[in-house]
Amino acid sequence: MLVGTVVLDFLIAGSHSLKTRRRVVNSLKDRIRGRFNVSVADLGKQDVWQRVVLGVAVVSNDGRFANEVLSKVVNMVAADPRVEIVDQRFEIR
């Protein structure tokens, strides 16, 4: 069994309140969960309006599959016009 994770650090440029941040983050989390059947969590910087650290995890018996799923998640988040990815860290164990 392998566990693949990606930690995404990104900006929400149009956010001017925690309410806006929460709306964008919850929307992304719901779309990611629904499309890819993975675990998603808001990991940090929850009190900063424009900054988000999101963690995504997938369990698989194939490392290539886990990497492919996580890459698709990153591509989906990167395609969202509301966010700008600053950093991403992949890990497969």
Element (H, E) at 23: helix 18-36
- Domain 2-92: top CATH class: alpha beta
Q: Where are the domains of the chain?
A: 2-92
d(CA 65, CA 47): 34
Is residue 18 predicted with pLDDT exceeding 80? Answer: yes
pLDDT at 74: 98
Report if pTM > 0.85.
yes
pLDDT in tens, 22-57: 999 999 999 999 999 999 999 987 788 899 999 999
What's the chain's length in residues? 93
Residues paired with 53 in a beta bridge: 9, 44
